[in-house]
Structure 1
């Protein structure tokens, strides 16, 4: 009976370890650490890579995002929520694909096609206070709340920037 209990405990322990989302580091500097976890249930998790990690007021988003969509990407919108030390500071929805004259080249991609996107954008951010910033990104397609992507990110600012 003791052996059976140990086997059950070991099985539950291994299941708990495998259920923990894998943390992917984006960058680590003397002033900021950034990472994300994939929270969606699609078959292929997205990959995000940042080429630079300069966290000053003229932050350059310079990276690569790749994923294989589970649905056709004709209409797509993102919801983005941001928290600073547990206080929700932003909650917005952004329309990325409308089906006509879209800015992003992945709009119109079909289910199962590999999407590889280079992003080079200059963002003007407010001054960052020392603390922990949490980001929740959810991408939905076809206006029917079909979740295509879900990414939770964390940025830890080690000093006031």
Structure 2
């Protein structure tokens, strides 16, 4: 119950500032019209010589998560740099803790984001993340717009 106090109830258009350091600024907003109970955290807040980030997610989904497809669109200084789709939950042999969650159930998980192959040039990045509970991408369960400002080139 105490963990619920750490959730942040967002309304559309309100920005959540994640972190700021000498080489990185990171924030996100919701890009759909429904309020969410959601919290995301990333440590450490830097991009230089970083190979693993620790992420923490707390979320109460608006529908059951028996199937979950994530769609990422990355824009670098306004130009589309990446379009990527990944099915995280298919209902069979799912490896992620979010899979199988039911509507209204609290999902609290931590995971690593490995970035050793990624060198981010200095600039502004927008990462649009859409989560769908169907393969046809009609039933969107979440939509986030991450803003990442890389202040110096990675070496």
> Normalising by the residue count of structure 2, what TM-score does the alignment of the two structures yield?
0.84
Deviation at 1:84? 0.5
Residue 70 of structure 1 pairs with residue 62 of structure 2? yes
CA RMSD, Structure 1 to Structure 2 (Å): 1.8
Partner residue of 1:109? 101
> Normalising by the residue count of structure 1, what TM-score does the alignment of the two structures yield?
0.81
Q: Which secondary structure does the structure 2 equivalent of 1:46 belong to?
A: strand
Kindly report which structure 2 residues correspond to 1:89-100, keeping only aligned pairs within 5 A, or say none: 89-100=81-92
Partner residue of 1:150? 143
Residue 36 of structure 1 pairs with residue 28 of structure 2? yes
Deviation at 1:20? 6.7
Partner residue of 1:81? 73
The structure with the larger Rg is 1
Conserved 8 A contact 1:27-1:34? yes
* Per-residue CA distance 1:57-108 (angstroms, 9 max, x = gap): 5432312111111111001100000011011010010100010111101101
Conserved 8 A contact 1:54-1:60? no
Q: 2: distance between equivalents of 1:57 and 1:152? A: 25
Conserved 8 A contact 1:42-1:148? no
Which one has the bigger helix percentage? 1
Deviation at 1:45? 3.5
Structure 2 spans left out of the alignment, 5+ residues: 1-10
Find runs of 4+ consecutive structure 1 residues off by over 3 angstroms: none
* Per-residue CA distance 1:112-133 (angstroms, 9 max, x = gap): 1111111123222432221101
Q: Which secondary structure does the structure 1 equivalent of 2:120 belong to?
A: coil
Partner residue of 2:4? none
Range that drifts further, 19-28 or 74-83: 19-28
